[in-house]
Amino acid sequence: MAEPVRDLTHDFDPLEPETFTSAHALYREMRTRCPVARSETYDGGFWALFRYEDVKHVLENPAVFTTTVQNTVPKFAFTGRRPPLHLDPPEHTAYRRVINRFFTKGRMAALEPRVREFAAGLLQPLIDAGKGDIAVDYAQKFPAHVFAAFFNLPTELAELIKEISAEYVAAIQVVDTDNVVRLSRRLYEIAQAVIDERHARPMDPAEDLTSALMAAEYEGAPLPPDMVLGCVRQLLVTGMVAPSVFIGTMFVHLSNDPDLARLLRERPERIPAAVEEFLRLYGPYRGMARTAREDVVIGGRLIKAGEPIALVYTSANRDERVFPDGETFRFDRPNLSRHLAFGGGVHTCPGAPLARIMMITTLEEALARTSSFEVCGEIAMARWAEWGTNSVPMRFEARA
Ligand code: HEM
């Protein structure tokens, strides 16, 4: 067997300016030329895995690849441990057991009409006006409403959380550590206020996720209050960020592919299948990270214990070794369920069923209420660690 290579050349820069297509073009090349890449961007540098099988291998070995050191590249969790993302099993399991109960089919079906109402309520003014920015005016607002309903919070509070999370993510993207810490503390204060409110006016733990975490036990003892706080704080942000950058990508795709938009208008029962393929094509996370607990060799390169590894889901999902013709939209891929838009292994996104409802209702309502739509201005892209859109100016033709 060939000796592993210990090579710290700077192979790529995650902060290069991007267009809607440039990152995927680069990742396609990286999958062939340099699938296990090194970047010296950010303090201390990091590794990035671009191929599906390498990413999957890391996800399936949480004993070797931990999330407890840092769960994103760049590292920004300076203000405390936040379950479930920052924990490994078995500690992680206690929190997931509670969280998973809130995403059952029955609960999702009960929430769906409200999600649809929010979608319709936010889309209609844009359609009436004939134009609007689907990222700014819709995708950055819609998740706060859904989140408020899911988390039993007043909408104004969810909107405030959304605003702070957006500033927080922007601060992370430009590595503004002082502001990351300041905004994270603010989110902790809000999480604490939600917990205090539940103490003052208790809710049924079967109906409210915060109350369920407060009431939960693990091995006969209640979950530690600081970890319950960290978990609520984690949930406040995770559910908001991905939908905000993802939704615009579906609209850009449909603007570029009017035949597909027409087909989905005529056959709305095909929308869930289209959403699933959009998730594969445009999955928004590329900087979720693990740290090797011991020296490991991936793709012939030696990664030392303690070095962060970014799992570039955005690339893995187009890996032609797993998804033939991976850059292209195709209905009903036989192995579509293997995509990693929601991650994999123990940290697989618990919110995936809600995320799917959000995306499906968005497209159902948008397509039913319009006869056409198109992008009519410059698209602004999010930056690493997310991939997706921050601004998508659009024109809408209302359905007669
Ligand atoms: C398009 C929408 C979404 C996408 C693409 C997405 C994607 C992901 C991914 C890739 C992970 C795994 C992170 C890792 O591997 O380190 C994750 C974890 C997580 N997501 Fe989502 N997510 C979405 C929406 C949501 C929503 C709506 C919620 C909650 C309301 C949510 C809650 C969480 C939580 C709590 C975790 C941590 C799970 C754990 O550590 O066990 N997500 N998500």
Q: Write out the E strands in the chain.
A: 36-39, 46-49, 65-66, 131-133, 217-218, 221-222, 288-292, 296-298, 301-303, 308-311, 370-375, 380-381, 389-391, 393-398
286-304 burial by CB neighbour count: b if 16+ within 10 A, else e?
A: bbbbbbbbeebebbebebe
The number of the ligand 1 atom at minimal distance from the alpha carbon of 83 is 40
Atom 11 in ligand 1: residue holding the nearest Cα: 349
- With 90 as the cut, is the pLDDT of residue 3 above it? no
pLDDT per residue as tens digits for the range 114-161? 999 999 999 999 999 999 999 999 999 999 899 889 999 998 888 888
> For residues 86 and 77, is the Cβ–Cβ distance under 8 A?
yes
Angstrom distance (rounded) from CA 315 to CA 49: 9
Atom 38 in ligand 1: residue holding the nearest Cα: 347
- What is the reported pLDDT for 42? 87
pLDDT per residue as tens digits for the range 85-99? 999 999 999 999 999
> For residues 252 and 375, is the Cβ–Cβ distance under 8 A?
yes
Q: Which of 151, 342, 386 to mutate to test the pocket of ligand 1 (most atoms within 8 A of CB)?
A: 342
Lowest mean pLDDT among 24-28, 183-187, 318-322, 386-390: 183-187
Query: pTM value?
Result: 0.96
Joined tokens for residue 185: 């503390």
pLDDT per residue as tens digits for the range 185-240? 998 999 999 999 999 999 999 999 999 999 999 889 999 999 999 999 899 888 88
| Ligand 1 pocket, Cβ-based, cut-off 6 angstroms | 71, 84-85, 96, 150, 235, 238-239, 242-243, 246, 283-285, 288, 313, 341-343, 347, 349-351, 354-355
pLDDT per residue as tens digits for the range 256-310? 999 999 999 999 999 999 999 999 999 999 999 999 999 999 999 999 999 999 9
H or E stretch including 209? helix 209-215
Q: Determine the average pLDDT of the residues in 38-48.
A: 93
The number of the ligand 1 atom at minimal distance from the alpha carbon of 340 is 10
Joined tokens for residue 245: 């950058």
Taking the centre of ligand 1 as the mean of its atom positions, its distance from the CA of residue 259, in whole angstroms, is 31
Task: Give me the percent of the chain exceeding a pLDDT of 70.
Answer: 99
1 — pLDDT class (breaks 50, 70, 90)? low
- What is the reported pLDDT for 308? 96
Angstrom distance (rounded) from CA 151 to CA 231: 13
